[in-house]
Amino acid sequence: MPRELIIDHINLNFETRFLKSISIMDSMEHGSGSQLDSEQDALIPGLPDDVALFCFARVPRKYHPILNCVSKRWRELVCSNELHLYRRNNCLEETWIYALCRDKSDQLHCYVLDSNQLQRGWKRIQDLPSRCLRRNGVGFEVLGKKLYLFGGCGWIEEATDEVYCYDASMNTWNTTAPLSIARSFFAYEALDGKIYAIGGIGSNSSNPHSWDTYNPLTDSWSSSIYPDILPDIEDSVVFNGKIYIRCAYSSVSSDVYAVVYDPSNGTWQHVDADMACGWRGPAVVINGVLYVLDQSSGIRLMMWLDDIREWTAVTRLSPILTRPPCRLVAIGTKVFVIGKGLGTVMFDVEDAIYMDGVLVSTSVPRLKSDDGEIIWDDVLSCKSLAI
């Protein structure tokens, strides 16, 4: 039997079993389930749990909230690491983009975009932790199926060590282990199953030349010190298995100061001038190639040619669809450029199409209020999360 027919048969069987399970649970609630005791412990009555897992893993992510409402056992499976790992190992993951924004009243909001259904647009995530709504310089990073919001400071509040965790499968926020050192306006990256919070501005008792490492297996942060980390951090990116950090421009010269950390041997080095001088915006890595969005004069996507140590322009983007300042997210070979008001442009760097010199792309309209006015939220950070 062809593979497509097998999958269709499985999907049909799953729908049938799904309806049957609803009927069984309804019967049990009305006291007529005594003959069904042997089936009530199964995920899908009549199917072994390993086959049920095979079926659940193929349900599109957008339907997971509905599965969560069917029963406690279904909710536990949908939110489990078991299902997350199964989908990842069988290339069934779906990647969504999360954006941390600040509105005109200086309050933080978090939005999500299904990268496979751009027409649905950005959706706001409710119940952002109230204690961090007006903080500045917060960290915003993804590890596994969780999103972490950490650190930051207020206008009259020193830097904090608080860490909040959003479980994307459960749509819930919780507190988790605090940073080793309170910090704000710092670099943050995830690498090799850990989160790094580097440099930035701390409280009076904090060391600005330090960095924290979060281990989710122990739910704890450890702190280290490197004297050449500067407080004024502009951007960071993971490239070639290392964390690159770009600091603010020097006030006395046009030089760009950047450092790189290699977690494999725990060493820091200075980034060479050729690479650092062209790193003038948010960066992403696609198939081992570094791309940077230069917004100093228009909006240009630049590419770092590592073999000849030079930057070259890939394309120029229209400011009509995306208004600076913009952020970048890469999913596969696709680049998402996300600007003010969450106006979003998507194109494939390996299959870019041009008409009359203009890049052909897919766009997502900016956010609008109920009365149709554009909401000009500033985009602070964007991350992709796959489940």
**129: CB partners within 8 A, 6+ apart:** 149, 164, 173, 175
Res 255: pLDDT:
64
Taken in order of first residue, the domains within the chain and their CATH numbers are: 3-89 (no CATH), 94-125+280-387 (no CATH), 127-279 (2.120.10.80)
**193: CB partners within 8 A, 6+ apart:** 143, 216
% residues pLDDT > 90 (the chain): 65
Residue 365 scores a pLDDT above 80: yes
**138: CB partners within 8 A, 6+ apart:** 100, 108, 132, 149, 150, 151, 152, 184, 380
% residues pLDDT > 70 (the chain): 86
Res 250: pLDDT:
54
Distance CA 355, CA 254 (A): 36
Res 40: pLDDT:
58
Instruction: Kindly indicate the confidence band of residue 229, based on its pLDDT and cuts at 50, 70 and 90.
Output: confident
Half-sphere exposure for 169 (CA within 13 Å, toward CB):
24
Res 22: pLDDT:
47
3: enclosing H helix or E strand: helix 3-29
Which of 40-44, 208-212, 237-241, 269-273 tops mean pLDDT? 237-241
Instruction: Kindly indicate the confidence band of residue 369, based on its pLDDT and cuts at 50, 70 and 90.
Output: confident
Class of residue 336 by CB neighbours under 10 A (exposed 0-12, middle 13-18, buried 19+): buried
pTM assigned to the model? 0.87
DSSP, collapsed to helix, strand or coil, labels residue 262 as: strand
- Average pLDDT of every residue of the chain: 86
Averaged pLDDT, 341-345: 94
Lowest mean pLDDT among 247-251, 273-277, 338-342: 247-251
For residue range 205-217, list pLDDT tens digits in order.
667 789 999 999 9
Question: Which CA distances in Å does 229 have to 153, 171, 382?
Answer: 20, 36, 24
Residue 221 scores a pLDDT above 60: yes
Alpha helices in 130-269 (DSSP H): none
Averaged pLDDT, 166-172: 94
Q: Which residue in this structure is represented by tokens 């919070």?
A: 197
Residue 70 scores a pLDDT above 50: yes
Residue 305 scores a pLDDT above 90: yes
What is the token pair recorded at 188?
């943050």
Averaged pLDDT, 330-359: 87
